[in-house]
Chains A and B, each alone.
Chain A
Amino acid sequence: MQLQKAMAHNPRMDVIVEGIQMVSGLLLVVFLWTHMLFVAAIWLGVNAFNTLAHFMDVFGLLPATVVFLILVIGAHIGAVIRRVPRQWQEQKILWRHAKLIHHSDTWSWLFQAITGTALLALAIVHMAVVTYGGIDANLSSSRVHGGFLVFYAVLLLLSEYHASVGLYRVFVKWGWVDRHSLKRVLTVVSLLTVVIGAVTLWIFYVLGANA
């Protein structure tokens, strides 16, 4: 080992970064699913949704969530950035490679990097809008009806895809469960959350249309 490396050396470094990537990812999945359930409160009606929103307001949960998200997303990005091929040359090799070997798990990795990048942009917009506007059923429905539908649909699909593939990888890498049954379970769970989200969006859309 060379001096400059010996002085900066920490044998646990790579494990720690890997751990941060995993823990932040898992936290984000938990958040995502909780979030889907919370907004699904609209299934029970405008009042239920607003009561929940009010409850969050009283306990200062909205700013707390935003801080939590900024920290966790920041940590996640910081940890995964080392995986994303940065140079154009590497990108080209990876695309060629994925096309060449016809291997679905390799494709899903490329998509994960792409959806991740897209999600960052979408999530920032989403968080800014919600923080600025506050949470209220009327606001949401007029927003969804007023052109944001596609935005939310895309956000929903991308985040579910990214979460499901990410979860799959965590389990596969650490070897906790059988690969193929895992894929099946995750597909079902993701489809369920997508359906929940889609129905929620649709309710908002109808509410907005009738307002």
Chain B
Amino acid sequence: MENRAVLLPQTNRDDWGENMMHARTLTIRIMRYNPAEPETKPYLQDFQLTEEPGMTLFVVLNKLREEQDPTLRFDFVCRAAICGSCGMLVNGKPTLACKTLTKDLPETTTLLPLPVFKLIGDLSVDTGVWFRDVSLRTESWIHTDTVFDPDAEEERMDNDVAQKIYEAERCIECGCCIGGCATANIKPNFIGAAGVNRVARFMLDPRDQRTDREYLELVGTDDGVFGCVGLMACDDNCPVGIPLRDQLAYVRRKMAQSAWNLGKTK
């Protein structure tokens, strides 16, 4: 399986002089809302600032908070597409703000928080509670009866399998695939592409001893993979490029297979 590199914004210093000459004035339209003050409805507020070379939305938002409005709320930790905390809708597209370069954006950009997740305020949402809940519901840990022997040599894993597991594990839990998914927007218990991807990871793992039937009960349902209607917004939006369509199809086929086998043994 190929490993897709995460593209990080790069500043091209050679552009400096030229860009400074005719720097754009950007209008950033940000949704403002404070759940603690429900009487004020969500509204869009315009901010203006001058574009700089190599500017990302991470830089933009921090500048706005420092220079224009200290009450502005948003999340960043790693600013390098690793932690997954800066997912938001950039002109409607769910993506990571820290890897979005302003030079790829039009002069007016609208920023909204990701839907589905609990809104903390402005652009900040709580993805953690959601992902923890899905992890618990899909029992995202290795289920095994094998007793761990600290002295034994670690069991070897086939390289191919290890690569496949790694591919699924690259999920940074940013929530872009969830916020962009129409199904997740109306079905509160739908585990979404990230959830299915998580389960795929354990299905691939030879150490996990769960049976087909157990997996079927877990994700072969309308809240699991069969809730998906195939819109592929997840696949189109995953900022780290996990092949979500393949993962969804893999789990879907596996579940159909288990259901079939179950029917035969009955």
Q: Which residues of A contact B (CB under 8 A)?
A: 11-12, 14-19, 82-83, 85, 90, 93-94, 97-98, 100-103, 105-106, 109, 169-170, 172-176, 179
Residues of B within 8 A of A175 (CB): 245-246, 248-250, 252-253
What separation, in Å, do the CA atoms of A103 and B177 have in the docked complex? Answer: 13
Contact of B230 among A93, A169, A176 (CB under 8 A): A169
- Which B-chain residue is minimally distant from A166 (CB atoms)? B230
What separation, in Å, do the CA atoms of A94 and B222 have in the docked complex? Answer: 18
Residues of B within 8 A of A100 (CB): 89, 92, 112, 115
- Quick check: is B78 within 8 A (CB to CB) of the other chain? no
Contact of A109 among B94, B115, B182, B222 (CB under 8 A): B182
Q: Do B245 and A174 touch (CB < 8 A)?
A: no
Add 16 more A-B contacts to A11-B220, A170-B230 (CB < 8 A). Answer: A12-B216, A12-B220, A14-B222, A14-B226, A15-B220, A15-B259, A16-B259, A93-B186, A94-B185, A103-B231, A169-B230, A173-B228, A173-B248, A173-B249, A175-B245, A179-B245
Cβ of A96 to closest chain B Cβ, rounded Å: 9
- Quick check: is B91 within 8 A (CB to CB) of the other chain? yes
Residues of A within 8 A of B255 (CB): 15
Ranked 6 nearest A-B pairs via Cβ: A175-B249, A173-B230, A15-B259, A169-B230, A12-B259, A14-B226
What separation, in Å, do the CA atoms of A15 and B235 have in the docked complex? Answer: 22
Scan B84-100; emit 1 where CB is below 8 A from any A CB, else 0. 00000101111000000
Scan B246-263; emit 1 where CB is below 8 A from any A CB, else 0. 101110110110010011
- Quick check: is B233 within 8 A (CB to CB) of the other chain? yes
B: interface residue count bin: 35 or more
Residues of A within 8 A of B252 (CB): 173-175
Cβ of A150 to closest chain B Cβ, rounded Å: 31
- Quick check: is B152 within 8 A (CB to CB) of the other chain? no
Cβ of B216 to closest chain A Cβ, rounded Å: 5
- Which A-chain residue is minimally distant from B179 (CB atoms)? A101
Residues of A within 8 A of B216 (CB): 11-12, 15
Residues of B within 8 A of A109 (CB): 182, 229, 231
Q: Do B262 and A18 touch (CB < 8 A)?
A: no
A11-B213, A90-B186 are known contacts. Are A105 and B231 too (CB-CB below 8 A)?
yes
- Which B-chain residue is minimally distant from A174 (CB atoms)? B249
Cβ of B236 to closest chain A Cβ, rounded Å: 7
What separation, in Å, do the CA atoms of A176 and B220 have in the docked complex? Answer: 19
- Quick check: is B71 within 8 A (CB to CB) of the other chain? no
Q: Do A97 and B232 touch (CB < 8 A)?
A: no
Contact of A18 among B112, B185, B226 (CB under 8 A): B226
Contact of A12 among B89, B233, B249, B263 (CB under 8 A): B263
Within 8 A of A (CB), among B193-252: 213, 216-217, 220-222, 224, 226, 228-233, 235-236, 245-246, 248-250, 252
What separation, in Å, do the CA atoms of A172 and B228 have in the docked complex? Answer: 11
- Quick check: is B180 within 8 A (CB to CB) of the other chain? yes
